[in-house]
Chain A
Amino acid sequence: MTAIRPAALWLITRREIRSRVLSKSFLVGLLVTVVVIFGVFGIVSLIGEDDPINLGVVGEAPTGAIENLELIAGLQETDVEITSLDSRADGEQAIEDGLVDGFVIESQLVMKQANGELIAFVTPAWQQATLVSELGNAGLSDNEISQALTAAGQLEIIELEADPDSDAKEAVAFMSVILLFISIQVAGAYIMMGVFEEKSTKVVELVLSSVRARDLLIGKLIGIGLLGIIQVAVLAGSAVAAASIFGSSALPALSVGLIGTGLVWFVLGYMLYGSVFAAGASLAPRQEDAQSTLAPVSVILMLSYFGAIFSAADPDSVLARIVSWVPFTAPFAMPGRIASGDAEWWEVVGSMAITAFAALLVLALAERIYVRSVIHTDRKLGWREAWTLQA
């Protein structure tokens, strides 16, 4: 077997990229996905956003009361807006106009109807502030007051598994699995169409008169793979951008590291599945034959996807652990576990190594089938037949 010619390889790669990047369907597809991502985050933020507390204050609030309120509300991820009001009548008008939920005047909290949230936030804030000022009036220094309050037994909060973002992590885990699945499937479809186009138009005969079949295969895989990486990066990037613009709670779990490992998993999964897609497409002289020769690949891909989705729902389960190590499922399952924060670093590295090894093996097998079958433009071949075929 002769060595790969880098120059020819690069020409093939460049043609793949150019012909796709310049095609409208690629650009429109990418644009639509970005718009959809922004749309989803926008809708989620509109639905999920808590109403801020609008509190009116007539006169001066006790020192520290507003700060206390903001602190308490902040624990519930609720914003507070304070409106200064001139009089009781002014306040009642403001409630009527919907400008405030309620207002405080002297020692009264005035509302239209009892509002549990408002009471729960405002009452302790004012109580504590009033207490502090009363104690101050009684001649205690600020220091003594704060000591006394601590001694009075305010409960310190201790979380056993401190993770304020567990919901967000689960959401990101699902998103990772789905994004990787879609990206690999789309790239696979591109490969299938590319191989099929060359075969059905018979241009492959001309290309192979000056380039070896494996150069054509590998150049094509690299070209479409680079486009796939761009696609994944744009999608992940717009997810992060959308999350931060709309202040989504998923943002803390969307780290650069996660996107980085996601890209590695894309490359590994792409290598594993892409070459099989190429081999499958090379067996078929017509589009409908390509569907049937690729049926086994599609089944494996779908099963892997569902395995990964189930394991993302329960990242600690035995199933999740197993599928995150099996080469064909790992590219979807492991990113889900990484996003959930349940994978140890050595598990990630080990699973990546196994998948990479499997990918190289599959590439070699797929190459053999592709090289033998791609030139036969006249009839449909079986996987087994192609394996032993002669040029």
Chain B
Amino acid sequence: MLHISDLSKSYGDLVAVNGVTLSVPRGRIVGFVGPNGAGKSTTMRSIFGLVEPDAGTITWDGSPVGPEHHSRFGYMPEQRGLYPKMKIREQIAFFAELKGIDRKTANNRAVAILESLDLGDRLNDQLEKLSHGNQQRVQLAVSLVTNPELLVLDEPFNGLDPVAVNTLQEVLTERVASGAGVLFSSHQLDLVERICDEIVIIVKGEVRAAGTVHDVRASAGIRHLSIEVDRPIMPLADAINRPVVTGSTSQGVVEISDDSELESVLAQARTAGTVTRFDYDLPDLQSVFTSIATSSDIAEQEIS
């Protein structure tokens, strides 16, 4: 298990990461979510020693992460980049060898992984000859070729077409099934919600919410009530005496923070017409994330 504890890093006056603590257990996919500049990349880069933290520890199975661990981890940096003139098979084998895999195995694995990513007929093409999407696949192949125990992927879904998104999702599921831990960052919250076992929400260098997707959705302390009214005699929003998250004349989503409110909301909805739908669930990740991100902005404004 990867454990990051109280990680802090400042660049001059700029606090990039402030006391971040998170864990990535084996066999789990952890989504790392936050606005731009929240400290996701800094945290991920520090796992590979690319950032020297001011404070905090990073351990794998209890021992401090060092170069011998880096060769067992796979990494996809936010800033994609490979050698443009190098043939893709050679390139993947090179990065595998850098992680201590012998040349023959590295070569075989490079071929196998390229075939599995539908690049089997491009083995000896230079990277720059490939389309942008295929270069992305090669980048992914580099991070996977060593069968890493931990995969750290910074925005892996950025710039992928829907087919590639599915492929990547399958690959991650497969790796996790074979016991690897995965930490990936993303802006696409629907995707995170679908794929991840756990998520960590980071805002302004600090972790604001963490846990299973369910826990995080529940942590907001509110529920989303979806209401539909058949042939309303007045707009639903007017009938209900409270803010509507989304909605039209005949349907809407309402936030409630206490189950005791259910009865009164239902009574109000009935004044608009026949209620055909009345179910409630935890808010989706997008709403939770938005409320966390904006609440911290508000807090900031109040301080300044």
A: which residues have CB within 8 A of B?
Answer: 2, 5, 7-8, 11, 15, 19, 23, 197-198, 201-212, 375, 377, 390-391
The digit string for B64-89, where 1 denotes a CB below 8 A from any CB of A, is 00010011010101011111111000
Q: A207-B98, A210-B99 are in contact. List 13 more A-B contacts (CB 8 A).
A: A5-B67, A15-B86, A19-B85, A198-B83, A203-B83, A205-B45, A206-B77, A207-B95, A208-B50, A209-B50, A209-B70, A210-B48, A377-B79
Contact A201 B52 (CB under 8 A): no
Q: Can you list 28 A-B pairs with a CB-CB distance of less than 8 A? A: A8-B98, A19-B86, A198-B83, A201-B82, A201-B84, A202-B79, A202-B81, A204-B81, A205-B45, A205-B50, A205-B79, A205-B81, A206-B77, A206-B142, A207-B98, A208-B48, A208-B50, A209-B49, A209-B50, A209-B73, A209-B75, A209-B77, A210-B48, A210-B98, A210-B99, A375-B50, A391-B49, A391-B51
A2, A7, A15, A203: residue with the most chain B Cβ atoms closer than 10 Å: A203
B178 nearest CB across to chain A (Å): 21
A385, B71: Cα distance in complex, Å: 31
Contact A210 B70 (CB under 8 A): yes
Chain B interface, >50% SS class: loop
Interface residues of B in 249-298 (CB under 8 A from A): none
Q: Which residue of B lies closest to A205 (CB)?
A: B77
Q: Which residue of B lies closest to A7 (CB)?
A: B100
Contact B81 A211 (CB under 8 A): no
Contact A2 B67 (CB under 8 A): yes
Q: Which residue of B lies closest to A212 (CB)?
A: B67
A11, B142: Cα distance in complex, Å: 16
Count residues of chain B with CB under 8 A from any CB of chain A: 28
Q: Using a Cβ cutoff of 8 Å, how many contacts connect chains A and B?
A: 68
Contact A202 B85 (CB under 8 A): no
B94 within 8 A of A: yes
B: which residues have CB within 8 A of A?
Answer: 11, 45, 48-52, 67, 70-71, 73, 75, 77, 79-86, 94-95, 97-100, 142
Contact A201 B75 (CB under 8 A): no
Chain A residues with Cβ under 8 A from B81's Cβ? 201-206
Chain A residues with Cβ under 8 A from B97's Cβ? 11
A91 nearest CB across to chain B (Å): 70
* CB-contact partner of A201 in B83, B98, B142, under 8 A: B83
A153, B80: Cα distance in complex, Å: 89
A338, B71: Cα distance in complex, Å: 49
A251 nearest CB across to chain B (Å): 41
A301, B237: Cα distance in complex, Å: 78
B29 nearest CB across to chain A (Å): 20
Q: Which residue of A lies closest to B86 (CB)?
A: A19
B156 nearest CB across to chain A (Å): 14
Contact B94 A209 (CB under 8 A): no
B124 nearest CB across to chain A (Å): 12
A358, B85: Cα distance in complex, Å: 35
A197, B71: Cα distance in complex, Å: 24
Contact A206 B75 (CB under 8 A): yes
A15, A201, A209, A391: residue with the most chain B Cβ atoms closer than 10 Å: A209
Chain B residues with Cβ under 8 A from A375's Cβ? 50
B70, B75, B83: residue with the most chain A Cβ atoms closer than 10 Å: B83
Chain B residues with Cβ under 8 A from A15's Cβ? 86, 94
Chain A residues with Cβ under 8 A from B71's Cβ? 210
A212, B83: Cα distance in complex, Å: 18
A200 nearest CB across to chain B (Å): 9
Q: Which residue of B lies closest to A23 (CB)?
A: B85
A10 nearest CB across to chain B (Å): 10
B204 nearest CB across to chain A (Å): 20
* CB-contact partner of A391 in B52, B67, B95, B142, under 8 A: B52
A205, B143: Cα distance in complex, Å: 12
B53 nearest CB across to chain A (Å): 10
Chain B residues with Cβ under 8 A from A2's Cβ? 67
Q: Which residue of B lies closest to A20 (CB)?
A: B85
Q: Which residue of B lies closest to A202 (CB)?
A: B81
Chain A residues with Cβ under 8 A from B48's Cβ? 208-210
Contact B82 A206 (CB under 8 A): yes
Chain B residues with Cβ under 8 A from A390's Cβ? 11, 52
A215 nearest CB across to chain B (Å): 10
B66 nearest CB across to chain A (Å): 8
